[in-house]
Structures are given as structure tokens and as C-alpha cells.
Amino acid sequence: MTNEIRLSDSVLRGAEGLFFYRTNMGEYKRLTPEQTIRFWCDLYGVRVDIERILALAELNEVRNKKNKGLTFSEKKRLQFARSLIQPTTIYIFQEPTYHLDLQSKQVLNRILNELLKKDGFIIILTSSLEESIRIGTKVFRLTDRGLQRLEYNEEAEEEVEEKEASDTEDETIYQQRFEKISAKSDDKFILFDPLEIDFVETRDRQTILHVNNEEFISTVSMKDIATRLHIYGFFSLSSLILSEFAAG
């Protein structure tokens, strides 16, 4: 490990090269949020609109409260605010939504949008596939097969339905229909590689995909999924039980 990030032909090292949010970041317990922001401004030699940063992080009500008395989420929002002060365009967030309340997740989204306005390059590291889809614009998964980009978009459902309705005999299109299994997360549609799926079940008349210890509601029926996944070694447990029952 060299503790460096290569971007094109440039090498970024240390605090001057990037902002790195970690779940175990320390805090200045005796300072208040306002004093902490002023300290960061002095540290980086920058001038910012402190009132605006406090408002973006929704810390106005606790601006004069000692950091040691802040709630878990308030402390995290203060750390997020640091990204608006540190002079850089490279931002890395490690598990930023871990144990966060809804208010703080909304603050994070707001701050990320501010960083994007500065043409910032943002990398979010998370073990939650659902959170990565909700926050990110491009999602990559690190698996035993390496780093792979996850395909998803809002129009994916329409594309899947069009493929389902098509009666074409073109072999290429036929293969594409079986390559991905669609699922929905919030307002986005995801396309899973069959080999990423651990197992599938039906619950409350919905088809549930289990991927990396997370659940996703599929837009494809169980019957259709069983047909698609059969060539990958999947089998229907209900069919097996019925067959054995009939044989008995």
C-alpha cells in the first residue's frame, strides 16, 4: 500500500490531495460546531460563509454546544461539513450513512450536491448495495471476480418489458434477455448478473432477490426467473418438493 491515489497522470497524497471521511474520525470535544468550522478555516487558510455551512449541515441549533454533547448524527454532520472547507476536488467517504438518521442522510445528499457543483470527484465506499444505488450515479461492486460496474437506470424496467414482449428470433437479442435479472430499489431499476444472485424466493406475492445479504424486489415473476436461471444451475425448490411428493 502506498497511501496514494492516481488520477490520470497525477498522484494525490495526504490531506492536501483529497478529503477522506472515515467512520472513526476524531472530534474536538471542547470546541463547538461553530468554533470547529472556524478552526478548519484557519487550518486550511480559507474563508467561507460559516452561516451557510452551519445551515447546510443543519447545525444552527447546536452551533454553541460543545461537540462532546452532540448526538451521533450531529457529530457526523459536522464531519461532513469539513468537506465544504478543505480545498480539494477529490472526496472519499467511507460508510457515510452508517447508523445515520433520515435527517442526516438528507444533509449528506445536500452536501454531496454542493461538492458536485464545485466539479468535485466523489468516491463513496460502502458495504450496502442499496445505499450505493441511492446515493451514487455510477456503482461498482468488488467481488471474487474483480471490480464490476452495476447496471441500473430509471428506464431499465421499460427496456426489460420491451425485451419480454419481443418475439424476435435473433440469437443475440435472445441471449441478452437471459443475461440480467431486473429489480427495483426506490426509483431506480437494477440489472443483476445471474451469478450475483444467492437465491430467490416469493413473499407476499412478490419475487425477492437475495444478493450479498441484501434483498431486492424483482420486476420479473418467479416462474420467468426460474426459467432464466435454470441454465445457471439454479433450481426451483417448490418444484422439487412437488415432484417428490407426487412420486411418493
Q: What is the CATH number that goes with domain 4-125?
A: 3.40.50.300
User: For residues 82 and 41, what is the distance between their CA atoms, to the nearest angstrom?
Assistant: 9
User: For residues 20 and 2, what is the distance between their CA atoms, to the nearest angstrom?
Assistant: 16
pLDDT value for 7: 60
pLDDT value for 118: 84
pLDDT value for 192: 77
- Judge whether 127 and 161 are in contact, CB under 8 Å: no
Question: What pLDDT tens digit does each residue of the chain (248 aa) get?
Answer: 455 666 666 665 555 578 999 888 888 899 999 999 999 999 999 999 999 999 999 999 999 999 999 999 999 999 999 999 999 888 999 999 888 898 999 999 999 999 998 887 899 998 877 778 778 878 887 777 677 777 665 444 444 445 444 444 443 433 434 457 778 777 777 777 776 788 888 888 888 888 877 888 887 888 787 777 766 566 555 443 333 334 44
For the record, the C-alpha cell of 210 comes out as 437475495
Enumerate the CATH 3.40.50.300 domain ranges in the chain, comma separated. 4-125
The string over 91-118, giving b where at least 16 C-beta atoms fall within 10 Å of a residue's C-beta and e elsewhere, is: bbbebbbeebeeebbebbeebbeebeee
CB atoms within 10 A of CB 229: 19
